[in-house]
A and B are shown apart, each in its own frame.
Chain A
Amino acid sequence: MTIPPWSVVLLEDDKDTRHFFESCVRAHARLTLSASFAALTPARTWFETNTADVLLTDLALPDGHGLTLIRELAERQPACDILVVSVFGDEDTVIACVEAGAVGYIHKDSTPADVAQVIVDVRQGASPISPMIARKLLERLRRKPVARVPAPAGLLSPRESEVLELIARGYGYAEIARLQGVTMHTVQSHIKNLYGKLAVHSRSEAVFEATRMGLLDSMKPGN
């Protein structure tokens, strides 16, 4: 029994980079390229009628911001894993994308093998993270909870918190797995779970904010 390859969609305005990623995907046996776009609008239109397993998207696009598509997809096609293409992988950009629903990021300067590996890892339940992002997440999750919104600290299990701390101190997945006596896969899935919780939490926070500002009242039936 053969498992069908995972379908990948590309959204990247820079031609060279797009071609690079296209070739990376095509070169891997487990991946197939479903579509490739240079602008936001055709990509959104395509996703109205089609679906994919992985979306690789740039953020700064000629006709809009990649976050728009990330939000839409996270809402409508939760099965699709979204990866952001970033030059620096700096924590502010990455966390904003994770909160919108992305499950990770790919460096623009990665080698072709790395690119394919990250995509496959994500499909298998892992998410890329850097120590800077881990530190920022810890900082954010330990912050005082906003009133009435469930405390984000509650989202973090002790084991997850431990993993985050070790990552923030510079340890790799394998080292953490060894230190904790678990498999590397378990460590990796902690991160993906955490990203998912963060996205849900950020949505509930947005709902809370909207309620507080009275935005939702006007949407109730009868109004």
Chain B
Amino acid sequence: MPARGLAVYGVVCLAAFCGAAQAAPAGTIELDRATFVATVNGWPQPAQEIRLPLHWDVIYRGQSGTARLTLPFPRPAARTVDEPYMLFIPRIANAYSVELNGTVLATAGDLQVHGAAWSAKQPITVGFPASLLRDQNELTIQLRGDAGRRAGIAPIMVGPARLVEPQYTVAYAFRVLVPWVATTFSALVSAFCLLLWLQQREKLYAWACIGEAVWALVVLDITMEWLPLRWHAWGALLFALRALWVWALYVIIEQVFGTRPVRERAAVQGLLWAAPFCALILAMTGSSLPARLLRTLLSLLSAIISLRLTYDLRKRVTTERVLLALGLMALLVAGVHDAVASQFVTSAYSELAWAKYVGMLLGLTIMWVVSKRFRLARAEALQLQESLAQRVQQKEQELRESFERLSQLERARAVTAERERILRDMHDGVGANLATAMRQLESGAAPAEEVAATLRESLDHLKLSIDAMNLPSGDVNALLASLRYRLQRRISQAGLTVDWQVDELPHWERGSDQAMRHLQFLLLEAISNALQHAQASTLTLSARSAGSMIEISVRDDGRGGCIDGGVGLQSMRQRAQAIGAELSVENANPGTRVRIAL
């Protein structure tokens, strides 16, 4: 990958130098000697003979004015007289008028208003008929030059259009099309970074986006003749934007090379904070001195930073580090070259600024860095997602297993509880009855009816146990009904009539299987007591709901007085306590009333 990057650098540099080299073809004349009369700050200057290119900023540093150039030339040697002729001026600024033998051929911009928004920047051609030419000709060009705005004029080419036009085409390509390509490229890189940033809010993507957007505008300015603002304001804005671009670049450097030393960072920040003030001074007063000073300081600082970065490379060499360091070096060289060429060297007037090419290389590097980061981040995210999915799956599996274990335990517990319940029922009910029946038979003293009664009771117990298994939890109505159904015969045989007053009852919330069983035994005990001891004639069983309570009462009209103690009553109390019911046994006069409140 580094090899490919370097190859791209080489090709672009070669193209830049080829474009700069051009020589006048045969049949055309290059005009580069002129009589030059300038008016600077309103003061006319003495006439002088000069050689083009004219570089206003080199001659009249920091001053504005107008100039009149007179260029004499003979009739070009041409094969045909009729063919159209053409003037080609590769560079002319900031406003101009072109006159041939007293005929005005072209004007652009206002020759009087300094700092006007319009500015000549692109190469121009001026066509004219051959008939306008004489043996001795005079080309007169008037210029307006604004201080620091790269005013001047490059050597002029005159000749038949067919010979001159190709020269113009080449110059147009390099001066206009190439910057447009560079602008488009930077704008695309910027958009690319913006899209990445929208997906991942990474500092690198944001600053790469801002930096490339600013660079696109700065490069576009090279070809812009119609400015949206007056020149000072526009220049100040561009200057501030360049400062922003420097900061974006610095952030990218930090992302690639790691955090920079505190003092270096402070220096860069300090200089950049000064940039808006310099821009303000430029916009308000037109003085570019602070801006130029700042630019010089920044260049120095950039040189130092570039050297340090190159030195840092020895610690760890990666493609992105090498590319970025090389790009910065190239940018530094181009920046120094452009600054010197635009302000100090007359002959460099028609030369192209290098920075835009280097800027493109830097854009490529940034795109490389950004896309590599994005790839890495995406791979990381994918890996994370995968491991997360695995962990979720694992946890799910564990949960399922533990749930399985729990429900197995729960089933085992339920089976054990049920077994215990059945054993207890058998022990208290059928078992006890059978034992009694056995003793009655063995003693031989008990009459057959008594044994039969005991055995019947035992069978009733068994039937109640089976009913209890099928009773729906909390259905007290069903419980009472089954109890009556199973005991009806015993009650009738005891000579009692039943007064049944059972309402539709609400669901008993605490009526678990266990609780239902307790309630069943409790009632069985109450009814059995009434049958055995009361000598009554009517057994009244009533059940009604009162608010959230269910009230059940078992009442006989017998002799009463069986409130005191006894094993039966004690076990009833225990059962009532177990199901959280209120139990009261009282004299009803006549008889006894057992009340259960659920």
Contacts and interface: CB of A to CB of B under 8 A. Distances in A.
A90 B485 contact: no
A132 B478 contact: yes
A170 B502 contact: yes
A131 B481 contact: yes
Interface in B141-175: none
Contacts of A160: none
Q: Of residues A168, A169, A170, A172, which shows the largest number of chain B Cβ atoms within 10 Å of its Cβ?
A: A170
B459 interface: yes
Contacts of A135: 475, 478, 481
A168 B477 contact: yes
A130 interface: yes
B456 interface: yes
A91 interface: yes
B260 interface: no
Contacts, number: 51
B463 interface: yes
A90 B500 CA distance: 23
Contact of B485 (A92, A109, A131, A175): A131
A132 B466 CA distance: 11
Contacts of B482: 130-132, 170
17 contacts: A88-B462, A88-B466, A90-B466, A90-B467, A90-B470, A130-B482, A131-B485, A132-B470, A132-B481, A135-B478, A169-B480, A169-B481, A170-B500, A171-B502, A172-B488, A172-B500, A175-B500
Interface of B: 456, 459, 462-463, 466-467, 470, 475, 477-478, 480-485, 488, 498, 500, 502, 504
Interface residues on A, range: 10 to 19
Interface in A104-123: 109
Given A130-B485, A131-B481, A132-B485, A169 B502 contact: yes
A157 B376 CA distance: 77
Contacts of A172: 488, 498, 500
Given A90-B466, A90-B470, A169 B477 contact: yes
A135 B500 CA distance: 18
Highest count of chain A CB atoms <10 Å: which of B462, B467, B475, B504: B467
B470 A91 contact: yes
A91 B463 CA distance: 12
B477 A109 contact: no
A97 to B, nearest CB: 16
Nearest to B478: A135
Contacts of B463: 88-89
A51 B400 CA distance: 62
B480 A170 contact: yes
Interface in A148-184: 167-172, 175
A109 B488 contact: no
Nearest to A175: B500
A122 to B, nearest CB: 18
B484 A109 contact: no
